[in-house]
Chains A and B, each alone.
Chain A
């Protein structure tokens, strides 16, 4: 168990190093001179001179070799110092921690909504295989996996905000503000989990132990929700884990559509503003979240599937 976590932790570090190095490299081959960007941000486009740019280049260490710059940045990050935004000059950590909760709330609500819809729908679909409700669920799930979330968001705005006037297009802080963004973000996940729950349940319901459970005279509800679902959940949890990453990716688009003040929108805005320090920090944060999710899922796995023992794998 400990060896397993240690191994995963090692992977986490390697991933974070790899990802940050890649971003670092990209930033440096990308068009646009960081020193010039900083100068423009500080003094305005009209007032900068070549001398000032050169001065900034030196004071910020931008003329050092790439590898030195990278480790310098890494050293600061390890001390908790993410530096300042190249555009606003505010501390990056402050900006990110202000926006982090918004993204987490959005992702969490979306996850809850999609699980509340998809798992019951998948179970019913499997139990009533080939019925009307099964076909309806499968069609819905197929559409859900193919609909672009940026388009779904616009359609929801068109219907619920423009036509019906029930929900606001933008805003943050109240329950009614999160409804449309979380539906937009959660639909794709819900569709995938519905399909998976259905196929997983169908497979489990054919197993011998389900006949054993039924032969005991257990209520059908108990057979399905206790004996079958417990087994069916194992692959479902793996996929949820893998898909949570995609949910995070989705925040980038959904936050941009609904002007949701989270990390996803911050990342997109920073890319446009060529605020390299901020981009770097956002990428790092997403990478950390992603790896932690994977780790948590693996640990969760051990509790749900008694057959797995990471001890042996070491």
Chain B
């Protein structure tokens, strides 16, 4: 049985402009100890998917479908039970280190909260454990840092602090939301190294949400490619990245600098738009009439699931 199983998930935001369907019919499994990459361009709904698992979306969002974690049905869990899951079972490494730490609470207190809450530790023991974790993550002088406020730390330090916070509850699953967004190459390598350490040292499973294919390829076992609210291709990292089937995945790979920087022409459709067929239709080099008119089913090719008519 997978650790996390997302079945037929739909997440819709009700806004003044209409219904924004950020996730539609998502199916995704994640095994114990596995690293799954969720890749796609900005605005494709991948972060919303991560937040749906934690049930941390704004009030105007409606989530339907099933999210099974271990044997718990997360979407039907009472809010107090769901709260106990967060941090302790499933935790989050948030997107932007600059804004994700509370500016008016000392670093120490922000780290210790998790220890005291989930492991019932006394303060002094919690401090020792935090220092251990921070050392593991390559932060020296932790005790001094405890007294600081976030604005006194560098971006890299903030990221490490956030990483430390995310594992204080010793979670089985970590959701990392764009951990390398906006970082230079050196920092990126550090974060990849950090995530690698985190998962290997603690045996934590990781759902890595990223738009960076290189980061995904160096960390992930499995990869799911998301486009305009849907998963269009899903399979082992090796296969998806080396031998992609879906024209979108192919385009995405071609747009990497190493592959000659050939961007996909056109824009992805707005999540407000309801389309009868394939959402990639307007940009697809392989399109035919069928694609625009009927719902596209998943097809298994050589262990990879692809949502495309091109392989009939």
Contacts and interface: CB of A to CB of B under 8 A. Distances in A.
The reply to whether A and B meet directly (CB within 8 Å) is yes
Contact of B165 (A208, A216, A222, A304): A216
Contact of B56 (A214, A230, A231): A214
B1 interface: no
B22 interface: no
Interface in B250-272: none
B109 to A, nearest CB: 9
Contacts of B83: 217-220
Given A219-B83, A220-B83, A306-B149, A213 B91 contact: no
Contacts of A304: 104
Interface string B61-86: 00000000000000000010001111
Given A306-B149, A307-B151, A218 B103 contact: no
Given A217-B83, A217-B87, A212 B101 contact: yes
Contacts of B54: 215
A212 B96 contact: no
A313 to B, nearest CB: 16
Interface of A: 129, 206-209, 211-220, 222, 226-227, 230-231, 234, 304-307
B108 interface: no
A29 to B, nearest CB: 50
Given A231-B104, A307-B103, A216 B87 contact: yes
B253 to A, nearest CB: 31
B77 to A, nearest CB: 13
Contact of B151 (A206, A209, A306): A306
Contacts of B225: none
Given A209-B103, A231-B103, A306-B104, A129 B59 contact: yes
Contacts of B104: 230-231, 234, 304-307
B105 A215 contact: no
Nearest to B91: A215
Nearest to B171: A217
30 contacts: A208-B95, A208-B99, A209-B100, A209-B101, A211-B56, A211-B92, A212-B92, A212-B101, A212-B102, A212-B165, A214-B86, A215-B86, A216-B86, A216-B113, A216-B168, A216-B169, A217-B83, A217-B84, A217-B169, A218-B87, A222-B113, A227-B105, A230-B102, A230-B104, A230-B105, A231-B104, A305-B104, A307-B103, A307-B104, A307-B151
